């Protein structure tokens, strides 16, 4: 029989097998929505027909239908080696071990039949990622999920350096060597000249055996990890695509918002020339329960604790555990983050700073953390502060922005009304930003090689960063002395240092807990004001009194946009008095949140 007929016959068998599978599904009235058992049974039938066709085709060519038995055993042993070294869940239930091993052997045969030695291009990165996942899980309690990838894509140089301890560098080298070694072993096993058809048949055989194991497995014991490496590969691709979607969706959301200044608005309290300064300081990763002014056992906020013109909000819920989404929720009329389905909870207009700029305020933007304009953080913060006449980066220590703020104020008339937008590292991982020579809580160290094992030092470092933020606020208010000013501080999200059984925000997804069910969503928020500001207009004094009367209320990021408008009495169609904390008709936050004492 001519060779092309052999190939054609093989494809006929493939088509027939697919038709039989479709027929079984149709007769079962399942329309391809198969129950697990029937789905496996159909797959088994298709694999049997394919294997029969492949065996027949090999025989007509005078070749063995399968590789040598020694090769099959080597593939099985290599599959076992892969699971022992790379599969995080392999030892959870040893009785389920045969299924993922057989499935791995099938995937290796199919991949080598398709790509040959080029399979290493896929296998080596996969092995390295799986080894890294095991190391990361044991150190930080999280797998490689979309939040981990998103955080990695947005990591600053300082954050990366925080994880580059000697132990982690050694571990990273060992992981790379391990991944390369596994790939080398795979090449050694399958480097012989095997026919592609024989490898396909071997893959079908392993798939048949895997299906047989699945059919005998009790349904209640069927877990996703038994489908490793297929399930794992799909999960990694999904996590990568979700992280990219998450980043791009946040940027698109910020870009799509029209400026609130496009609608008619009026400012009834100021007419220009008063020299009022509004500071909008979005902090980083400050938990409300780690602030001394909120009853924390340590006095992490000595300056704020001594302030007489302080309005503290100890019960503030952040919108999202992502900095950019939180910034959007704070500066716009958004009620929740981008994953909320209700359109009423999404932002409909842009940054509140645009309204201040429209009424003669000069906007200065001061932020650090990133230095690459293509990152999500840079793009979103630029969109939200596009009305700024000056934009300054303050890399490294947040204290480096204080001279920039002072210079910005010196370079304009003292009668100029001004808004200072500040966003700096604060208490973001790796908790570097504090006075390492004179930190009040010692011993302190940002060891992220194994944070749970260094819980005391890491928690001390975190508390030092909160103390550092308190000192930062003190230094900024000194720069503002002599002028009427209002200082708003609000953190974007919290942090996890063993709280709720979680170490690090990236582990939140692995914990399967919703952000708003954890204590990490309760963040620091307060207003400071100078006596000159209170006296600058009778409306300010009244607004501050009402604001203080609501300080024990459960509030959220969603209140900020409208509260700033209410304090300055800016009338605009976007203003909602039920979300203005300086209004007597304000309503408390009604969204999801953990229990608040």
pLDDT digits (tens, 9 = 90+) for 290-347: 999 999 999 999 999 999 999 999 999 999 888 888 999 999 999 876 666 678 888 9
Residue-level pLDDT at 507? 66
Residue-level pLDDT at 223? 64
Residue-level pLDDT at 273? 87
Assess whether pLDDT exceeds 80 at residue 547: yes
Assess whether pLDDT exceeds 90 at residue 416: yes
Q: Where are the domains of the chain?
A: 66-243, 275-579
120-140 and 230-256 helices cross at what angle (nearest 10)? 80
For residue 3, the SS3 value is helix
Distant-in-sequence contacts of 397-402, Cβ < 8 A, 24+ apart: 397/433, 398/368, 398/424, 398/425, 398/426, 398/433, 398/468, 398/469, 398/472, 399/472, 399/475, 400/368, 401/366, 401/367, 401/368, 402/472, 402/475, 402/476, 402/479
User: pLDDT tens, 524-542?
Assistant: 999 999 999 999 999 999 9
The structure's pTM equals: 0.78
69-86 and 196-216 helices cross at what angle (nearest 10)? 60
Residue whose C-alpha is closest to residue 458's, from 439, 473, 471: 439
pLDDT winner (highest mean) among 104-108, 117-121, 585-589: 585-589
Sign of CA dihedral 284, 479, 360, 373: negative
473 band by pLDDT with thresholds 50, 70 and 90:
very high
DSSP classification of residue 499: G
User: pLDDT tens, 176-229?
Assistant: 999 999 999 998 888 765 677 888 888 888 887 777 777 666 555 556 667 788
Note the CATH architecture for domain 275-579.
3-Layer(aba) Sandwich (3.40)
Cα–Cα distance for residue pair 568/268, rounded to 1 Å? 8
Residue-level pLDDT at 439? 81
To the nearest whole percent, how much of the chain has pLDDT over 70? 79
Give the number of C-alpha atoms closer than 13 A to the C-alpha of residue 129, restricted to the C-beta side: 19
Residue whose C-alpha is closest to residue 477's, from 257, 281, 236: 281
Residue whose C-alpha is closest to residue 158's, from 364, 424, 403: 424
Mean pLDDT is lowest, of 61-70, 234-243, 328-337, for 61-70
To the nearest whole percent, how much of the chain has pLDDT over 90? 40
Q: How far is CA 267 from CA 163, 356, 503, 556, 569, in A?
A: 49, 9, 46, 25, 6
């Amino acid at each position: 029989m001519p060779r092309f007929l052999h190939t054609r016959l093989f494809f006929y068998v493939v088509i027939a097998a697919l038709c039989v599978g479709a027929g079984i599904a149709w007769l079962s009235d399942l329309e391809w929505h198969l129950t697990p058992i029937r789905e496996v049974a159909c797959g088994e039938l298709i694999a049997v027909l394919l294997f029969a066709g492949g065996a027949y085709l090999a025989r007509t060519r005078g070749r063995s239908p399968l590789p040598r038995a020694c090769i099959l055993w080597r593939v099985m042993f290599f599959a076992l080696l892969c699971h022992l070294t790379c599969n995080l869940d392999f030892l959870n239930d040893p009785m389920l071990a045969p299924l993922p091993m057989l499935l791995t052997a099938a995937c290796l045969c199919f991949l080598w039949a398709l790509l040959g030695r080029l399979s290493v291009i896929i296998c080596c990165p996969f092995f390295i990622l799986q080894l890294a996942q095991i190391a990361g899980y044991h150190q930080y309690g999280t797998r490689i999920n979309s939040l981990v990838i998103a955080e990695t894509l947005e990591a600053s140089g300082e954050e990366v350096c925080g994880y580059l301890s000697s132990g982690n560098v050694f571990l990273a080298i060992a992981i790379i060597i391990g991944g390369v070694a596994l790939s080398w072993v795979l090449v050694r096993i399958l480097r012989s000249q095997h026919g592609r058809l024989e490898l396909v048949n071997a893959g079908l055989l392993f798939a048949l055996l895997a299906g047989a194991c699945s059919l005998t497995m009790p349904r209640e014991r069927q877990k996703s990890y038994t489908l490793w490496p297929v399930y794992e590969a799909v999960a990694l691709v999904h996590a990568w695509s979700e992280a990219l979607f998450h980043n791009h969706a946040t940027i698109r959301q910020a870009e799509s918002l029209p400026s609130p200044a496009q609608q008619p608005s009026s400012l009834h309290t100021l007419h220009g020339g008063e020299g009022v300064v509004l500071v909008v300081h979005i902090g980083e990763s400050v938990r409300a329960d780690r602030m001394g002014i909120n009853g924390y056992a340590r006095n992490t906020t000595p300056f704020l604790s001594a302030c007489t013109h302080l309005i503290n909000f100890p019960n503030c819920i952040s919108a999202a555990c992502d900095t950019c989404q939180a910034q959007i929720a704070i500066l716009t009329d958004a009620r929740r983050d981008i994953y909320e389905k209700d359109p009423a909870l999404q932002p409909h207009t842009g940054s509140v700073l645009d309204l201040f700029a429209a009424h003669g305020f000069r906007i200065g933007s001061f932020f650090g953390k990133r230095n690459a304009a293509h990152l999500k953080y840079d793009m979103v913060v630029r969109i939200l502060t596009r009305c700024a006449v000056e934009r300054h980066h303050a890399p490294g220590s947040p204290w480096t922005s204080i001279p920039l703020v002072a210079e910005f104020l010196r370079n304009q008339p003292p009668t100029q009304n001004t808004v200072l937008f500040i966003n700096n590292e604060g208490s973001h991982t790796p908790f570097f930003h504090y006075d390492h020579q004179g930190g009040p809580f010692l011993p302190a160290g940002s060891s992220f090689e194994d944070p749970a094992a260094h819980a005391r030092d890491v928690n001390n470092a975190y508390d030092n960063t909160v103390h550092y933020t308190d000192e930062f606020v003190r230094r900024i208010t000194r720069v503002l002395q002599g002028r009427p000013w209002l200082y708003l501080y609000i953190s974007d999200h919290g942090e996890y240092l063993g709280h709720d059984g979680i170490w690090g925000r990236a582990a939140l997804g692995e914990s399967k807990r919703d952000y708003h069910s954890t204590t990490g969503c309760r963040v620091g928020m307060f207003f400071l004001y100078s006596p000159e500001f209170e006296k600058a207009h009778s409306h300010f004094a009244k607004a501050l009194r009402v604001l203080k009367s609501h300080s024990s209320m459960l509030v959220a990021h969603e209140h900020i946009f409208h509260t700033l408008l209410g304090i300055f009495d800016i009338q605009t169609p976007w203003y909602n008095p039920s979300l203005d904390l300086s209004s007597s008709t304000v309503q408390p936050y009604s969204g999801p949140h953990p229990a608040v004492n």
